Chain A
């Protein structure tokens, strides 16, 4: 099974600040990586797929990049509504697997 290591687990940040999360796969996942936003009581939201493709309707302040085993997710200017936990997910191999999550909080 592919292990996804996500860091940091929590991330205090300022409104307007830049947020960067990293996700490392235990093997090459051929850019088959997506990112999700989870807010309490709300449906999870797909933000990015294929490592860097922004889902329709997602603000451009969200971005993803990377290849092979190393990936990053960035919020260029944190907004209050971005307070959430973010997860990476690989879909190169079964079982699909998620990183441990990064809780983004206001500093």
Chain B
């Protein structure tokens, strides 16, 4: 059974940083591209970032203005999201998800998701 478990969320002050992790099991992690999404309170889903299985293709939502950095460690079957210069607008549940297309070089659709981790940016 494929499982994705996010961690690292919590309360952070404006301007602060946080690093999210996504532990993946039940699949050959190195063969699948991965994504981060978020859902702000009362809002819809927003795509955040994509990283190809081999880490040679990375994309971000324009709204992030270079503040977030996605990475992965295939040996540890883990995905990461480094978030810097956080503001209240970044408050959201953050989800990781697997791209459904093996070795995808760009985002397609997403067949396995975690349950999310809540990030709250507040003073």
Contact = CB atoms under 8 A, between A and B. Distances in A.
Co-assembled chains A and B:
yes
Nearest to B96: A43
A97 B61 CA distance: 10
Contacts of B106: 94
Interface stretch (B7-15, B43-51, B75-83, B84-92): B43-51
A38 B38 CA distance: 13
Interface of B: 4, 39, 44-47, 59, 61-62, 95, 97, 100, 106-116
B110 A41 contact: no
Interface of A: 32, 34, 36, 38, 41-46, 49, 55, 87, 89, 91, 94-101
Contacts, number: 55
Main secondary structure of the interface of A (DSSP, over half): loop
Main secondary structure of the interface of B (DSSP, over half): strand
Nearest to B111: A46
B113 A89 contact: no
A104 B51 CA distance: 32
A45 B113 contact: yes
A98 B45 contact: yes
Given A38-B45, A43-B112, A95-B62, 5 more contacts: A32-B108, A36-B45, A42-B115, A46-B110, A49-B100
A98 B46 CA distance: 7
Contacts of A38: 39, 45
A79 B59 CA distance: 38
B44 A87 contact: yes
26 contacts: A34-B110, A36-B45, A36-B110, A41-B115, A43-B4, A43-B95, A43-B112, A43-B115, A44-B95, A44-B110, A44-B113, A46-B100, A46-B111, A49-B100, A49-B108, A55-B111, A89-B109, A94-B106, A94-B107, A95-B47, A95-B59, A95-B61, A96-B47, A98-B46, A100-B44, A101-B45
